[in-house]
Structure 1
């Protein structure tokens, strides 16, 4: 399932920080943009319903009990899905067009170019 941009922001927080409460995620997101607590809560509830997040209730049975949320999808699988969809829709399935566009538009360091060459050499051996 493809997460929305807002959902992806929340996933980034959880991938980096690990299991967190809505308050912790909200505090992190608030450092870079204006987002209300109830907006973060609603997004995370929707993400839980969609299967993007898992949640555990605190054992305390108070009415205002908190939940701890975790990413139910891996960062690598999510990136792979997003890239595959992007390549299919924007580049008609051509990975080489994507690579040419990226390399032509962005400054690439010597280290990155060496990594790309190594990857290409590894792919050629298969």
Structure 2
């Protein structure tokens, strides 16, 4: 009889780690230097050494994969953006909304969604495709 392996929940990234993950999801596998350059406009306070250290910590936590085949290591997210977002939203639903997805959606719709986003949500609810 086969037993289902239980996978540990992915680690929860800090706000700074999420920033770096967003860059990697947008740009694809990158070196620390490339991540630092992409981040420099929005976060001039973050040094190249800090970015490298964060990437190393994120790799140790299991948030990133690291290709060590070249001198400059190349980092990539360990999971797709939608998978991590789904995990974070699930945790939020349980913690803040007593497990109710409906309560989360209603809270989001109260002031956190633009008119254009509401129209897109309505199209999806009416059976249309996500744009």
TM-score (norm 2): 0.78
Residue 41 (structure 2) aligns with: 31
The structure with more helix, counted as a fraction of residues: 1
Structure 1 residue aligned with 2:51, among 40, 46, 53? 40
Runs of 5+ in structure 2 lacking a partner? Answer: 1-9
Q: Quote the Cα distance in structure 2 between the aligned partners of 1:108 and 1:49.
A: 38
Q: Quote the Cα distance in structure 2 between the aligned partners of 1:108 and 1:36.
A: 35
Q: What's the secondary structure of 2:52's corresponding residue?
A: helix
Runs of 5+ in structure 1 lacking a partner? Answer: 60-64
2:22 corresponds to 1:12? yes
How many residue pairs get aligned? The number is: 116
Give, in angstroms, the shift of residue 6 of structure 1.
0.9
Give, in angstroms, the shift of residue 108 of structure 1.
2.9
Q: Quote the Cα distance in structure 2 between the aligned partners of 1:75 and 1:99.
A: 20
TM-score (norm 1): 0.81
